[in-house]
Amino acid sequence: MSFINYSSREINCKIVFYGPGLCGKTTNLQWIYKKTNPDSKGKMISLATETERTLFFDFLPLALGEIRGFKTRFHLYTVPGQVFYDASRKLILKGVDGVVFVADSQVERMEANIESMENLRINLAEQGYNLDKVPFIIQYNKRDLPNVVPLEEMKKALNPRGLPDYEAIATDGTGVFDTLKAIAKLVIMELKKGQEGG
């Protein structure tokens, strides 16, 4: 649910990073935070446990510049990936404009990826969204590790529709901005469509 303010000429959109526990959602936001110049970002807020697991959400406001005279702001959120935080995940999805699914490429996390993807579909549906209609892309993270599932297999398991997808190593930033750019583009294109639809 974007917020278009004709008075202050601003557009705000909400993007949620979803995925199983420890897949690297928070790390994605940390990288974006680190590499964005101070004028364009607000404070990054992390509501986390003492062991740095996300407890409620991470929040990073980004000001990306102007489109046709409108300041464009993206609010990035991560959900807590651990299974038992499902109630919180549902809350974060409210009013979402675009979703990035961050998958953990390690063999032993494949089942968790698939479960989390299913969980995303269900939780979106509860909010009245259809995963097949929401701007949505997939990131295969942790490609630097030795025990990763081959890309083709990951695509088959997680991306049967052939959506835009990116390999990433969130810890060194590989693929992180490609992912962000791709989802931002989809979200803005969706806004455009919404307007044309009248």
Q: Which residues bind another protein (CB under 8 A)?
A: 1-9, 11-12, 14, 42-43, 45, 47, 56-57, 59, 61, 64-65, 67-70, 72, 75, 87-88, 90-92, 94-95, 127-129, 133-134, 177, 181, 184-185, 188-192, 194-196, 198
In the complex, least distance from residue 55 CB atom to ligand GTP, rounded to whole angstroms:
8
The helix/strand/coil state of 39 is: helix
Can you tell me which of 11, 15, 16, 23 binds ligand GTP, judged by CB under 6 A? Answer: 23
Check binding of 142 to ligand GTP (CB under 6 A).
yes
113 binds ligand GTP (CB under 6 A): no
Report yes or no: 172 and 144 within 8 Å, Cβ to Cβ. Answer: yes
Q: What's the CA gap between 140 and 156, in Å, rounded?
A: 12
Provide the β-strand partners of residue 166: 139
Largest CA distance in the chain: 52
3-state class (DSSP) for residue 163: coil
Half-sphere exposure of 170 (CA within 13 A, CB side): 23
Cα–Cα distance measured from residue 128 to residue 123, given in angstroms and rounded to the nearest whole number? 9
Binding partner of residue 141 among Mg ion, another protein, ligand GTP, none, CB cut-off 5 to 8 Å per kind: ligand GTP
- Interface residues toward Mg ion, by CB under 5 A: 25-26, 54
- Interface residues toward ligand GTP, by CB under 6 A: 19, 21-27, 53-54, 78, 80-82, 141-142, 144-145, 169-171
